[in-house]
Structure 1
Amino acid sequence: MDFKTTANKVWYFIEKILISPFGQISFSSFFIAVVSGIFLAVPYDIKNPYDSLSLLLLTNPAGVFFRNMHYWSAQVFLLSSILHIIDHFRRKTEKKLNNGVWFRVTVSLFFLFYIMISGFILKGDADSEQAGRILRSLFEQIPIIGSFIGTLFLGREGDYQLVYVHHIATASILLWVIIVEHSKNFWAELNTFLYSLLFLVVIGLFFSAPLHDGKNVLIKGPWYFVGLQELLHWIPQTQLIILFCVLLLILFYLVKNLKEEYSLIVKSFFLILLFFYIILTIVGYFFRGENWEFILPWKSSTNFGTEFQPAFVSKAEEIEPSKFKVILGRREGCIVCHQMSGLSKSHDPEAIGCFSCHLGNAFTLNKYAAHDRMILIPGNLTDSKQTCGTAQCHPDIVPRIDNNIMSTMSGIVSVNRFVFDELTSPSVLSHVKDLGFSNADSHLRNLCASCHLGNEKTELGKINELSRGGGCNACHLNYSDDSNEQLNEYAKSKVKSEKSKNENQKLNFPKVHPDLNLQISNNHCFGCHSRSGRIATNYEGWFETLKSQQEVKGNKDYRVLMDERVFQKTKPDAHFEKGMECVDCHLAQEVMGDGSLYLHKEDQVKIQCTDCHSNQTTNRVSYSNLDYESRKIVDLKNAKREKTDFISIQKSKLPFTNAYVNSANQKYLVTKTKKDSLLLIPPAFVCSEGKAHQRVSCNSCHTEWVSYCVGCHTEYNPNEDGFDLLANKEIKGSWIEHPSDFYVDYPALGVRKDNSTGKETIETFIPGMIISLDKMKNDKQKKIFKRLFAPTFSHTINKNGRSCKSCHNNPLALGYGKGELNYLLKGKTGEWNFNPEFSLLPQDNLPKDAWIGFLQTRNEKSTTRTNTRPFTIDEQKRILLVGACLSCHDENSKVMNESLHDFEKLLKRVSTKCVLPN
């Protein structure tokens, strides 16, 4: 059996199913489209098409039905017309028509397309506006008469009057005349009409016509137009496409009078073109996402237009149309049913509605349709582009959040891979979402991958110590007492309903919504930042121990976190004691990112101690010169002050929106939550005295304490029940950590080089990983030992700073670890001696908590950064030389104060009593 015979059998089978010929179906559906369009014209407002259609969907079930009928009959008309033309070509019946009729049939192809696309444009939604712009630009590419043609068929941009007239009159009448002339009948056959009407009534009752909701990031033309959009994506030369379309119409007209063999070639060419256009349509409709990027349909959350939604299930007749207010350019049915309080002015339902955040379907009162595809907890990064990041809300913020170090976890990922010998450098741009299942990546998946903003918040409730991620909610979600109480009541009623298995059991739905605002407390940061570097607990004055809950029960000097870790009380950060919170220092461009990708957390930080505490002239910026985002923050917080400017930070010139400088050059900071005014005091004279400490950072002197975790044995157990924190699912097999010793003391000191300037500064360091790894997931024989220190800003600042001896005579500060560092006199020279507190590890023969050996150094692979290092041997000797002086001279003595200015000069006149080391 050849292809032609098979194709004919398929064709006959289709015709048999459809009962009637394609031409009659086309005529019937055209007539139904015209009549339903007349009914639709009554509620349609040409000046506000989108608003009138959204109001129709909410208040007029009959109107919804006729709109659905109009839409579906038009689709059937287009499809059956195409099939009718194919049938003509197959039967060769085009040759029976005279040239005049065939010419008008050819012309009708343009008007067939025009009546379809003009109807689509008349919706006035985002899809329609884009389709109109594309069509206008195509018309305007026609040489000489392009602008005229565009105006003739589309009118002025934003004015639907001419398109409306052409749609309901010009194109409709011309098509009806050509159809009548071609079919030689004024009306379609009765049986075909009734079959078509019955089919379209059923479809119209249950399946809605599409209307873009103004939120979906995907904007496309109708299905028959996206093939052209896909073609334009590959061939940007629009004039070639226009010329090709004109040539196709000419070829279509000529096919009637061609010889049989040439006619067959042309028809085959048309069939091949149709096949390729179908492919382009499928790709454009299902495989294109935002900005026409390729995306697999099952990975897209896109609504493809129509949906099952019975037109007759509505309570619209019970509600006054005036209750359906215009919110952000559209009518919304949500607030008719949901009366919520609790949200601040910016996010009040009266201002932004419910749909802006929760999506769903704003154009229906049908409970199930309205809640379809609704987002229960908006603000997660997976949906932020459709919720928080739309053009009407915060479009500039979401791309910044995506590149934010708290979203990528770049430093954590790259350092972890470096530790597992899967990277040769700890500084490689990485992203937590790209984690695979190697030894390093499975380790992160098991133990660390929850602390990133992309981790979804999946449960209702306020932010607490166990909170991880949640996108925008991580910082901006705040439950009032009322909203929290009502949520708890709802949860209780839900449990009661599930236990009783009574569907009619009343649920106590909350009436008070949690707020979204700028009241960002330390509690929002605590969940993630109480882990790893433990910044949040450090700041409040708590250090981690290995004690159990039972050991510290009732002891107020200890604190048990919700994850059951036990912390002991110690001295908090000086800024915490002044009532300052994290956001009082850290800028929006730090916390939310500035759009750039950064290797490590410290690279994204812009604020410095000297922005507030400096003897230099302060950079300032006036309110009138603030950038848009900063001014918005100032306005929302009512933070403008008369006769004052804002401090402009040194590193990026960004305004510090809660730090001010007045005309007398006095600087003060106003806490963002408590509104306390704090005078910003310049550094003490000793901080800048002389040149001895020019390389020393503020942090190095003023960090009171850090946590030391000095020994961790980690292994993979394939039989352990584990959890994949990235995929949020239970798994078999898990990495197990066995911590060894915790203690608090002064930090180690080391050197950090600024990659942009080459300047070196002395900074604070802690053990990043003193770790032994074995029983790997993918290599059971492999063993790894690493001794890596990491730069830290531990947020344990002390106003007074550390003593001279705590650096120059302290083995911890030099990187040797805890122990006794003694200066022993041996005749006319002295010698330093170090006795470590911890035993030496067999892997490298260094004390358990050491960074380097006594008067030794290590290579660049001793830290978790490529631009940091421990002190060189010469630097250690120089530090210890001062330490030798301090073993006799008081640090506040005249001679030690002189040493700050010119230590080399001082050494030339040392007393004969002074015994210096070799």
Structure 2
Amino acid sequence: MLKYIAAFLLLLSVLSAFVFYTPAATDSKGCEASECHAGIEHLSDNHKLECITCHGGDEKTENKEIAHKDMLGGRNPSDHKVWDKTCGSCHQYQLDRVSTTLMYTATGMIKNSQQAWDDYQGDLYSAHGTTGYNQDGNSVEHPPVSELDELSGELYRKFCSSCHIGYDKLQGYRAHHSSGCAACHFNHSDDGSYEGNDQTIKGKSPYPEKHIIDPLPGNDVCLTCHNRSGRIALSYEGLYDGNNSLVPTQHGYPGPDLIDGVRNVRHMEADIHHEKGMECIDYHTSRDIMGDGYMYENMYMQIETTCEDCHGTKDKLPETSMITKENDEPVRESANYAFKNKFGDEMVLTSKGRMYSNVKKENDKFFLYTKRKGKKLEIKTIAGGDEHSMHGHDRMECYTCHSKTVIQCYGCHTSYDEREKMFDLIKGEATDGAFSEKEDFRSFFPFPLGLNQRGKISSVTPGCQTFLTHIDKDGEVIKDEHIFNYRGDKKFKFAPFYSHNTGQKAVDCITCHTDLAFAGFGQGLVSAANGNITSSYLCEKCDKPLDALYSVINGKLSVTSDIVRDHSRLLNTSEITKMLKANTCIVCHQKAEKRIYNKEINYEKILNDSVHKPLLSD
């Protein structure tokens, strides 16, 4: 009995010491002390962690230098240099994927730059060096682009690499993003300043807008990178930055809508999916963006979403598969959605046969749910419709007809001056050689067509029309407006491209078949007397038209450009002839009537029948 009393008294004394313990004046108040980061937001309900769990450092001191000395990644613990020790320690599956995604490796961008500058020798590079497996399961290793000594490698490092997720882009307007996981999962204000409750850094930059993780990035995050080149983030929301000379203005400054690079945007019609309330993440799967663990050479290989996935084809409805396990991807991914997927849900499949996490079949109808707001949108399918049953259109990409606009940048005049220095974003130092560029003009409609990597007729856009002027250290011009070779000849390069500016109404038949720009002839200036089809968009030191894939001179077809993606090509003579010959009927029969266009047209027979022959003879 006495030993139980003794044990009780000992326990009571220990508890008393704990309850009445008062920290000494020298004890730290931690990272959230009033003079440090008091008021800073918790990352999320799932991330109510101690600061040092993610950031490292020493929370037991109030000395800033000591506290921050061993922090992981500086202000950003998700940086790719340390993400295996921070985010990846809990999210290994996601890290394995994102470390091989093209958003990080940029292998496709680098390869395309090499091809555009005639530097590609068959070797693939990545932004920081990557090892893994390609889509065939073969082990591959891509050395870092810092080892690519050609000008195309230097161009990527100094000009293009700020928009891959391995780099902190902390300058520009509406263009700030952190590196690593935070590139997408932390929002930045327009000017990159912190607007949260931590008074120590409030109003300062460069910091995220708030110390809060966003598991579902909004369109503004995508815009920070996808506002140049193809400008898909702009086109999707109906914004256009071309040929406007910073007009209109507001209060004496360009505006009211400015973006990175002191560019002013004006408004055009937005993509129909945007108008319906869809954000980028509602169309794209996480595998499109974060990757699926494999290493790809180009983005079209990584992307698994297609129009046919959700809308079907003229012959069949979208394919589906049922959720049968509690850890199926759609169940896990919807944990942060405004709705939840469950066992038994019938999910629509991507082009790679994987389940979407927000597209379902319910009661014989198909629906898309927006991830952040849970908005339910019924999807129209096209199976059995007359509009999609016209003969000769089986190889058309859906967006070829349904694109409202396709951004086209013509004439990219690039200067490289060895006398000047420019910061190498990958090497982290300023080195000899500075790039600058300017364009001739921009267009968005009409747009040329070609065959893409899927063997389908697609919209194409310049990619790229580089004129290089190279100045050496002594000021001598080594190359003056030089055009690079492609496949053995000096040609302008075009690339298959989906503009992300889709409309419900397709380009009408007569516009597509009569406007020679769609056939690849640019302006299409026709001289019946000489048998010529040409364009006047020429540069001073080049006789090739900028906006044309080919010309006709004295009745003979002359190829002036090429399509740069693997397995892609120009339309051939037979395809162009068929495209233009259809005008024989379209000039009178402009609607997609099934009775006329659902089978191959025998022009000779029809034009000589009792209905058409008298009309033509008049």
| Global fold match (TM > 0.5) | yes
SS at match of 2:333: helix
| 1:678 to 1:580, Cα distance in 2 relative to 1, 3 A | same
Give CA-to-partner distance per residue, 1:22-67, whole Å, 9 cap, x none: xxxxxxxxxxxxxxxxxxxxxxxxxxxxxxxxxxxxx9xxxxxxxx
Letter of the 1:630 partner, please give it: P
Match of 1:675 in 2: 374
SS at match of 2:88: coil
Residue 765 (structure 1) shift: 0.5
Provide the C-alpha distance between the structure 1 equivalents of 2:526 and 2:204, rounded to a whole number of angstroms.
Answer: 65
Match of 2:76 in 1: 377
Match of 1:658 in 2: 358
| 1:626 to 1:691, Cα distance in 2 relative to 1, 3 A | farther
Contact 2:321 2:349 in 1 (8 A): no
Equivalences for residues 324-723 of structure 1 within 5 A: 340-349=40-49, 353-361=50-58, 370-375=67-72, 376-390=75-89, 393-424=90-121, 429-433=124-128, 434-435=144-145, 436-456=148-168, 465-468=174-177, 470-478=179-187, 484-486=194-196, 489-491=199-201, 514-549=211-246, 552-553=249-250, 559-614=257-312, 616-625=316-325, 627-637=327-337, 639-640=339-340, 645-662=345-362, 664-683=363-382, 685-720=385-420, 722-723=422-423
SS at match of 1:709: strand
Match of 2:13 in 1: none
- Which blocks of at least 5 consecutive residues in structure 1 are unaligned? 1-58, 60-314, 325-332, 496-509, 755-759
Equivalences for residues 902-913 of structure 1 within 5 A: 902-905=599-602, 907-911=604-608
Contact 1:706 1:747 in 2 (8 A): yes
| 1:832 to 1:405, Cα distance in 2 relative to 1, 3 A | farther
Provide the C-alpha distance between the structure 2 equivalents of 1:387 and 1:345, rounded to a whole number of angstroms.
Answer: 18
Residue 599 (structure 1) shift: 1.2
Equivalences for residues 198-237 of structure 1 within 5 A: none
Letter of the 1:856 partner, please give it: L
SS at match of 1:346: coil
SS at match of 1:909: helix
Letter of the 1:447 partner, please give it: F
Contact 2:406 2:498 in 1 (8 A): no
Provide the C-alpha distance between the structure 2 equivalents of 1:697 and 1:563, rounded to a whole number of angstroms.
Answer: 33
Provide the C-alpha distance between the structure 2 equivalents of 1:643 and 1:442, rounded to a whole number of angstroms.
Answer: 51
Provide the C-alpha distance between the structure 1 equivalents of 2:149 and 2:534, rounded to a whole number of angstroms.
Answer: 43
- Which blocks of at least 5 consecutive residues in structure 2 are unaligned? 1-17, 129-143, 485-491
Match of 1:736 in 2: 436
Letter of the 2:496 partner, please give it: P
Residue 541 (structure 1) shift: 1.1
Give CA-to-partner distance per residue, 1:621-661, whole Å, 9 cap, x none: 33443655432221232522579724232422222111121
Residue 606 (structure 1) shift: 0.3
Provide the C-alpha distance between the structure 1 equivalents of 2:223 and 2:189, rounded to a whole number of angstroms.
Answer: 19
Task: Give the paired residue count.
Answer: 549
Letter of the 1:490 partner, please give it: T
Contact 1:448 1:725 in 2 (8 A): no
Contact 1:807 1:813 in 2 (8 A): yes
| 1:877 to 1:629, Cα distance in 2 relative to 1, 3 A | same
| 1:588 to 1:641, Cα distance in 2 relative to 1, 3 A | closer
Residue 693 (structure 1) shift: 0.8
Residue 874 (structure 1) shift: 1.3
Q: Report 1 or 2 for greater relative contact order, CA contacts < 8 Å, sequence distance ≥ 6.
A: 2
Residue 904 (structure 1) shift: 4.0
Residue 398 (structure 1) shift: 1.3
| 1:849 to 1:558, Cα distance in 2 relative to 1, 3 A | farther
Q: What is the aligned-residue RMSD (CA, Å)?
A: 3.7
Which of the residues 538, 545, 559 maps onto 1:847? 545
Match of 1:790 in 2: 495
Give CA-to-partner distance per residue, 1:49-95, whole Å, 9 cap, x none: xxxxxxxxxx9xxxxxxxxxxxxxxxxxxxxxxxxxxxxxxxxxxxx
Provide the C-alpha distance between the structure 2 equivalents of 1:356 and 1:487, rounded to a whole number of angstroms.
Answer: 21
Equivalences for residues 874-885 of structure 1 within 5 A: 874-885=574-585
| 1:809 to 1:422, Cα distance in 2 relative to 1, 3 A | same
Which of the residues 836, 860, 872 maps onto 2:572? 872
State which structure, 1 or 2, has the greater radius of gyration over its C-alpha atoms.
Answer: 1
Greater fraction helix: 1
Residue 370 (structure 1) shift: 4.7
Provide the C-alpha distance between the structure 1 equivalents of 2:592 and 2:368, rounded to a whole number of angstroms.
Answer: 36
Equivalences for residues 9-408 of structure 1 within 5 A: 340-349=40-49, 353-361=50-58, 370-375=67-72, 376-390=75-89, 393-408=90-105
| 1:626 to 1:788, Cα distance in 2 relative to 1, 3 A | farther
Provide the C-alpha distance between the structure 2 equivalents of 1:742 and 1:771, rounded to a whole number of angstroms.
Answer: 14
Provide the C-alpha distance between the structure 2 equivalents of 1:469 and 1:858, rounded to a whole number of angstroms.
Answer: 44
Contact 2:460 2:496 in 1 (8 A): yes
Contact 2:79 2:179 in 1 (8 A): yes
Letter of the 2:458 partner, please give it: E
Match of 1:725 in 2: 425
Greater fraction strand: 2
Provide the C-alpha distance between the structure 2 equivalents of 1:469 and 1:850, rounded to a whole number of angstroms.
Answer: 40
Give CA-to-partner distance per residue, 1:656-683, whole Å, 9 cap, x none: 1111211x21111111123221111113
SS at match of 1:454: coil
Letter of the 1:592 partner, please give it: M
SS at match of 1:524: helix
Contact 1:408 1:432 in 2 (8 A): yes
**Identity percentage over the alignment?**
25
| 1:405 to 1:832, Cα distance in 2 relative to 1, 3 A | farther
SS at match of 1:515: coil
Residue 876 (structure 1) shift: 0.7
Contact 2:409 2:462 in 1 (8 A): yes
Contact 1:580 1:671 in 2 (8 A): yes
Match of 2:512 in 1: 807
Letter of the 1:438 partner, please give it: E
Provide the C-alpha distance between the structure 2 equivalents of 1:885 and 1:343, rounded to a whole number of angstroms.
Answer: 63
SS at match of 2:381: coil
Match of 1:765 in 2: 460
**TM-score normalised by structure 1 residue count:** 0.54
Residue 869 (structure 1) shift: 0.8
Letter of the 1:456 partner, please give it: D
Which of the residues 512, 522, 530 maps onto 1:817? 522
Provide the C-alpha distance between the structure 1 equivalents of 2:558 and 2:287, rounded to a whole number of angstroms.
Answer: 38
**TM-score normalised by structure 2 residue count:** 0.79
Contact 1:439 1:777 in 2 (8 A): no
Which of the residues 546, 557, 568 maps onto 1:856? 557
**Farther off after superposition, 653-662 or 572-581:** 653-662
Contact 1:557 1:569 in 2 (8 A): no
Provide the C-alpha distance between the structure 1 equivalents of 2:600 and 2:541, rounded to a whole number of angstroms.
Answer: 40
Letter of the 2:460 partner, please give it: F
Provide the C-alpha distance between the structure 1 equivalents of 2:77 and 2:479, rounded to a whole number of angstroms.
Answer: 44
Letter of the 2:80 partner, please give it: L
Contact 2:348 2:360 in 1 (8 A): no
Residue 472 (structure 1) shift: 0.9
SS at match of 1:669: strand
SS at match of 2:99: helix
Contact 1:558 1:569 in 2 (8 A): no
| 1:751 to 1:893, Cα distance in 2 relative to 1, 3 A | closer
